[in-house]
Structure 1
Amino acid sequence: MLRKHSSSRTLKDNLQLGSLTAFSAGMVNVTSLIIFFAFTSNVTGHYAILAEEIAKGNWNQVLMVFFWLFMFFYGNFLANFLVISSSRSNYIAHALPLILETICLSSVGFYGLYYYQETLFETEILIAIMLLAMGLQNGLTASISNSAVKTTHMTGLTTDLAILVSMFTKKKFRENRELRNKAKLLSTIAVSYISGGVIAGLIYFAMGFKVFFMVSLFLIFIILYDYIKFRFNLLLRKRRLQGYGGSKRLKIKEMWLERIKI
């Protein structure tokens, strides 16, 4: 899910990556909406707010919204930079953005749980940290999937899915395997995003800011999934090779004994 890159990825890899990261993105976005009355998994609305504040001449707010946009931009930049700068291990390079995202979200949860006084400045900074986290996630998924997986905003996804559904009214497009796979991926991401949002809302009403720790644990699961799967497959392969080597040595020994008898 994390080890493979670009064209080497299969539909299964993208489905796993898309569903799991979309689930976490939905959790973050709904939680930020409930607590801070702001969306953090996308920046479309922030661009509109930036234009509005410029028109009003509220320059302090202009600077803050621009800072939010920059944090999301920087998250995407940093994620892709880590991916393309790796020369040793794809897994480590692809896991690093998620590790940084986990640190960001855990920090928001910790601060909100023990120090948050609900001031405007605190809220603005916490929103910025969450936008950085979502930028990291979006940049990672888009980079390693050749832009096939984008899980932090639904505008483009809904547009693409609607276009595909329209195309499927024609038989020739319904028989196109690539288009069917794309529709399956987009539908899975959408359902996962909504599911994550619903579950995050229920958790928040029961646990408050601890919901960010739950999201962080979920991201840690995504990070460790590939590592555990890789180690497990490596162990199975090693046992197969040992079994093959042992049977081969036994066969050679039997042939040698037969020769001695002769």
Structure 2
Amino acid sequence: MLRKFNNSRTTRENIQLGSLTAFSAGMVNVTSVIIFFAFTSNVTGHYAILAEEISKGNWYQAAVVFAWIFMFFAGNFCSNMIIINFNQKNTYAAHATPLILEILCLLSVGTYGAFFYGETLGETEIMVGLMLFAMGIQNGLTASISNFSVKTTHLTGLTTDLGLLTSMFTKSEYRQNKALRAKANVLYAIATSYVTGGIFAGVVYQQIGFMVFYIASMVICVIIFYEYYMIRLKKMVWRKKRKNQGYKTPAMSRT
């Protein structure tokens, strides 16, 4: 999921990455709506609110919403900056680092919310901004390493693409196109995972409250540790293969 970059990625890897990150994004967004009455996995609605507040002359509210939009922008910026600067040195580390930053943001929100949150407006505004930054990081990562084919924090463009693809599949020539079918599979997996994550968060929040963010962080951890395990396994197999070849070489030279 994290070892490959752009066009070298397979459909399966995009589905795995998209499904897990979309599940986490769905959890974060639904939880933020329940607690803060604010969407944190996308900024489409925030742009509309920004325009509304400016038109009414509510400059403080407009500044807060603008800051939220900027936080989402900053998350995308930071994520891609890390990737393009360190991808050639260590692809896995370059792709895992943004996810670690996302985890730190989500854990911060979960911990502060569970133990220190006084339900003041200022606290709410800061935590919403932090979650938008985290979702920006995630969206920037998935879009960057998948050549913009995987975006998991919002479903507006995804739903548009699904509508177009579904209409194309009414003709047999498009149904037989492997690339289009693969793209549709990725999009359906992301949409399903996002909704499933949201439903899960809505149910679980009633029992554990802010600890939902710990579970969302664990989902991201699965991606990081799974890829680390696969890298270690691949190296172990490669070393074993070289060792076996080393044992066979002398015997072959004597024959």
Query: So what's the TM-score if we normalise by structure 1?
Result: 0.94
AA in 2 matched with 1:236: V
Name 2:38's counterpart in structure 1.
38
* SS of residue matched to 1:117: coil
Q: Answer yes or no: is the 8 Å Cα contact 2:22–2:152 preserved in 1.
A: yes
Letter aligned with residue 167 of structure 2:
S
1:28 maps to 2:28: yes
Amino acid at match of 2:241: R
1:179 aligned partner: 180
Distance in 2 between the 1:230 and 1:12 partners?
17
CA RMSD in angstroms comes to 1.1
CA distance in structure 2 between the partners assigned to 1:139 and 1:199 by the alignment: 24
1:184-214 deviation line (CA, Å, top 9, x unaligned) = 0100000111111111122211111111111
In the comparison of the two structures, how many residue pairs are matched?
A: 254
Larger radius of gyration: 1
- In structure 2, runs of 5+ residues without a counterpart are none
Alignment of 1:1-262 (within 5 A): 1-86=1-86, 87-252=88-253, 255=255
The superposition leaves residues 119-173 of structure 1 with CA deviations (integer Å, 9 ceiling, x where unpaired) of 1111111000000000000001101111000000001100100100000001111
- In 1, the alpha carbon distance for the partners of 2:252 and 2:92 equals 40
* Per-residue Cα deviation, 1:90-135 (whole angstroms, up to 9, x for no partner): 1111111111000000000010011101111111110000000000
In the alignment, the residues of structure 2 paired with residue 7 and residue 113 of structure 1 have an alpha-carbon distance, to the nearest angstrom, of 42
The unaligned stretches of length 5 or more in structure 1 are 256-262
Identical-pair percentage:
58
More deviation, 81-90/159-168: 81-90
**Residues in 2 aligned to 1:250 and 1:85: alpha-carbon distance in whole angstroms:** 47
| Alpha-carbon distance in 2 for matches of 1:224, 1:190 | 24
1:250 is displaced (CA, Å) by: 4.0
Counterparts of 1:145 and 1:58, CA distance in 2: 40
C-alpha contact 2:21 2:219 (8 A) present in aligned 1: no
Partner amino acid for 2:230? K
TM-score, normalization: structure 2?
A: 0.96
Cα distance in structure 1, aligned partners of 2:253 and 2:172: 61
